[in-house]
């Protein structure tokens, strides 16, 4: 089981704490209490710092909002300006129906992209004939000529 859960279980009632420290000397209990108090103070300071930081952020947000209202801007205006200037769409390669001949003489049609990997038979055909991939596109999908 989790150690923290065990500690919380034992420290959740006065009776359990008394049982836990029944054989402990008073000076040792005082040391433990001092350590626990110092940890408590650290946690309080950390919490206060986080709260102050959050308040400052809210204050800055209100100042910015007021400035935007004074200048006649809205959040949509800023989002539109930021998105339109930095966002570029990646072009997606179009796919075509290719036709080629295998070594055994069979005509094969393959649907794929004009870039990237191709079937081995198609690559052999391209190497053997010296044609490029786009010369093998079927005419019904593109105005290019066939490879036969």
DSSP string, 57-83: HHHHHHHHHHHHHHHT--HHHHHHHHH
- The pTM score is 0.43
- Residue at 145 is within a domain: no
Looking at residue 49, what is its pLDDT? Answer: 97
Looking at residue 85, what is its pLDDT? Answer: 53
Looking at residue 143, what is its pLDDT? Answer: 42
Looking at residue 79, what is its pLDDT? Answer: 78
- Residue at 123 is within a domain: yes
Looking at residue 26, what is its pLDDT? Answer: 94
- Residue at 7 is within a domain: no
- Residue at 110 is within a domain: yes
- Domains: count for the chain: 2
d(C-alpha 77, C-alpha 22), whole Å: 68
User: Both 79 and 102 in a single domain?
Assistant: no
CA distances from 29 to 13, 16, 17, 65, 138 (A): 16, 15, 11, 54, 88
User: Both 29 and 80 in a single domain?
Assistant: yes
Looking at residue 37, what is its pLDDT? Answer: 96
Last residue of a domain, one of 42, 63, 85: 85
d(C-alpha 76, C-alpha 112), whole Å: 40
- Residue at 58 is within a domain: yes
Task: Label residues 38-63 b or e (16+ Cβ within 10 Å = b).
Answer: eeeeeeeeeeeeeeeeeeeeeeeeee
CB 31 within 8 A of CB 25: no
Structural domain boundaries enclosing 35 = 25-85
Write out pLDDT tens, residues 12-38.
Answer: 889 988 988 899 999 999 999 999 999
CB 109 within 8 A of CB 68: no
CB 147 within 8 A of CB 136: yes
Looking at residue 76, what is its pLDDT? Answer: 84
**Entry field: residues in the chain:** 148
Looking at residue 1, what is its pLDDT? Answer: 52
Low-confidence ranges of the chain (pLDDT < 70): 1, 82-88, 141-148
Looking at residue 144, what is its pLDDT? Answer: 45
């Amino acid at each position: 089981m989790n150690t923290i859960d065990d500690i919380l279980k034992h420290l959740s009632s006065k009776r359990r704490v008394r049982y836990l420290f029944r054989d402990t000397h008073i000076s040792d209990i005082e040391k433990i209490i001092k350590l626990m108090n110092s940890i408590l103070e650290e946690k309080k300071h950390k919490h206060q710092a986080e709260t102050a930081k959050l308040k400052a952020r809210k204050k800055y947000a209100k100042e910015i909002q007021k400035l935007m209202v004074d200048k006649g801007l809205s959040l949509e205006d800023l989002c539109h300006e930021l998105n339109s200037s930095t966002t570029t769409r990646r072009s997606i390669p179009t796919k075509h129906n290719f036709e080629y001949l295998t070594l055994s003489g069979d005509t094969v049609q393959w649907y794929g992209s004009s870039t990237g990997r191709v079937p081995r038979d198609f690559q052999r055909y391209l190497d053997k004939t010296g044609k490029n991939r786009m010369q093998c596109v079927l005419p019904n999908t593109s105005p290019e000529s066939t490879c036969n």
